[in-house]
Structure 1
Amino acid sequence: MDPTTLALLLIVLFFFIAMLYSGIGFGGGSSYLALLSIFYTNFEFIRTTALACNIAVVLGSVLLYYKNGLMDWKRFLPFVAVSIPAAFIGAQFQLSQQVFFILLGFTLIASAVLLLVKTLQSLHTNTKSYPAGSTVALGGGVGLLSGVVGIGGGVFLSPVLNLMRWDEPRKIAALASFFILANSLSGLGGLVASGSLGTDFSLQLLLLFAVFAGGQLGIRLSLGMLKPQLIKSLTAVLVLYVGVRLVLMYSVGIKI
């Protein structure tokens, strides 16, 4: 595929990913990583682009949740207080191409499974309380992984907190947006500090514009014509396929 055609394809796909996921508090990072890893092998470029696109999408979501009074700073800050330094450190890990793509593959497989779990979860009204240590462990662990592979971490955090019944779904979605924004900014900072920033400014600017426009549209429009469960399921299948493909390709040399 020639570069112009590939760029146009990615712009369209990134736009729709951002539009579909901005309204539920996700930035679409796992899907950006999945798509980019099909066409590119420069992992510094892949994770830099995914993190930047996350920021462009979830910034609008965070502002919207803030306007609606859903940003519970007292409960949210302990998560990011640990995840921010963890993401910064994780982004500075020096990995070989093979190790990065194998780790990314397993990460995509896990995120696909968790996305399917979130799709099957029913809404809940009763919540449970947990010790502060669980917040620290969860935020730190997801933050570290976020920095290493180049995601915001919301796709991990949100399903786990829903299973834990940590709070109502809207509050969890608000936390996921804030968590993704904080980790993506920290991860980019870590890439800059380690000299691992991968740039192709002309393409990245176009993709940033596409996801920003898609995210803003997705926040404001009702997607009643599409079933959110179907969208999540189809995306999970794509992410799962790419994850399995990467693990097989970079561990045993099998291409599918």
Structure 2
Amino acid sequence: MDLLSLLIACGIFFAAVLYSSVGHAGASGYIAIMALAGLAPESLKPAALALNILVATIASTKYIRTNAFSWSLLWPLIITSIPCAYLGGALTLPGDYYKPILGALLIYAAFHSFLTAKKSPTQTIQAPKKWLLICAGLMIGFLSGLVGVGGGIFLSPLLLFLRWGETRIISGVAAVFILVNSVAGLLGVMLMHPVLPEGIGYWAVAAILGGWLGAEFGSKRFSATVIRQVMALVLLVAGGKMFLG
């Protein structure tokens, strides 16, 4: 393993720790790291989705075992998100379109991390209408498959903003949502003969170790204020790189 692959593996490990601690799998972080390392854009989506599946599996198991999960909140989301993630994964955007969309996604994730790092809402929970969840799943699923993420960076802030669940429950739901959408998205990508980076095996090990550690902390209400802010800076730099070429 060369130095660049080692540095990417270290970055993926820390991203997996940070993201899995809040119920996410880290695809936007992996994309940021690989983009900063100069990997080909066509390899970012399949690599991020593959790593996402590993980490989301671990996070889902951890959160479900601690009863931080709601099937009634999840199922309306995934009945539309799964086919839409598959469809989005099967589509390949030209670089002129893919890079700006990916850059906007990363910058959005950065600002969301900055703005929510110190928030701990205690508002009254409101039961969502099923048709609204179905519509949200449709849109988030398609976008997640299109750009190569599990959709957690869209789903969690939406559920929190609308007060559709407690923070820990939302983290658990997001973990499972990310898992099923990442699988669907990767299956769609496989139709287009995806190209995986040479170091993906090493990065997978790093993601598994980081995902297990982060999910363990997350199930015990680990506070991630500072590290979310640091990750937000990485996402912001990577998003800007997508726009600047």
Judge same fold: TM > 0.5, yes or no.
Answer: yes
Does residue 229 (structure 1) correspond to residue 225 (structure 2)? The answer is yes
1:216 counterpart (209, 212, 219): 212
Does residue 207 (structure 1) correspond to residue 203 (structure 2)? The answer is yes
Does residue 155 (structure 1) correspond to residue 158 (structure 2)? The answer is no
AA at the equivalent of 1:204: I
Separation in structure 2 between the aligned mates of residue 131 and residue 73 of structure 1, nearest angstrom? 14
Per-residue displacement from partner, 1:20-39 (whole Å, max 9, x unpaired)?
22121011111111111122
The farther-off stretch of 239-248 and 184-193 is 239-248
Indicate if the aligned counterparts of 2:22 and 2:218 stay in contact, CA closer than 8 A.
Answer: no
Q: Secondary structure at the match of 1:235?
A: helix
1:93 counterpart (91, 94, 97): 91
Separation in structure 2 between the aligned mates of residue 222 and residue 69 of structure 1, nearest angstrom? 13
Separation in structure 2 between the aligned mates of residue 222 and residue 90 of structure 1, nearest angstrom? 30
Runs of 4+ in 1 over 4 A off after TM superposition: 221-224
Instruction: Map 1:170-209 onto structure 2 (within 5 A).
Output: 170-193=168-191, 195-200=192-197, 202-209=198-205
* Change over 3 Å in CA distance of 1:41–1:219 after alignment to 2: closer
* Change over 3 Å in CA distance of 1:196–1:100 after alignment to 2: farther
Separation in structure 2 between the aligned mates of residue 233 and residue 199 of structure 1, nearest angstrom? 29
Indicate if the aligned counterparts of 2:152 and 2:175 stay in contact, CA closer than 8 A.
Answer: yes
Instruction: Map 1:98-137 onto structure 2 (within 5 A).
Output: 98-137=96-135
Q: CA deviation at 1:218?
A: 2.2
The farther-off stretch of 114-123 and 132-141 is 114-123
Per-residue displacement from partner, 1:161-206 (whole Å, max 9, x unpaired)?
111111100000001101110111001000112x241223x41111
Separation in structure 1 between the aligned mates of residue 38 and residue 194 of structure 2, nearest angstrom? 15
Indicate if the aligned counterparts of 2:46 and 2:195 stay in contact, CA closer than 8 A.
Answer: yes
Indicate if the aligned counterparts of 1:19 and 1:218 stay in contact, CA closer than 8 A.
Answer: yes
Separation in structure 1 between the aligned mates of residue 154 and residue 218 of structure 2, nearest angstrom? 25
Q: CA RMSD in A?
A: 2.0
TM norm structure 1 = 0.89
TM norm structure 2 = 0.92
Report % sequence identity.
Answer: 31
1:52 counterpart (37, 50, 53): 50
Q: Secondary structure at the match of 1:109?
A: helix
Separation in structure 2 between the aligned mates of residue 22 and residue 182 of structure 1, nearest angstrom? 16
Indicate if the aligned counterparts of 1:124 and 1:165 stay in contact, CA closer than 8 A.
Answer: no
Q: CA deviation at 1:44?
A: 2.4
The residue number in structure 2 matching 1:243 is: 239
Separation in structure 2 between the aligned mates of residue 221 and residue 132 of structure 1, nearest angstrom? 31
Separation in structure 2 between the aligned mates of residue 175 and residue 223 of structure 1, nearest angstrom? 13
Q: Any unmatched runs of 5+ in structure 2? A: none
AA at the equivalent of 1:136: I
Q: Secondary structure at the match of 1:24?
A: coil
Separation in structure 1 between the aligned mates of residue 67 and residue 34 of structure 2, nearest angstrom? 35
Per-residue displacement from partner, 1:50-104 (whole Å, max 9, x unpaired)?
1111111111111111212233212211111111111110111121122111110
Corresponding residue pairs, total: 244
Separation in structure 1 between the aligned mates of residue 184 and residue 103 of structure 2, nearest angstrom? 22
Separation in structure 1 between the aligned mates of residue 44 and residue 118 of structure 2, nearest angstrom? 30
AA at the equivalent of 2:196: T
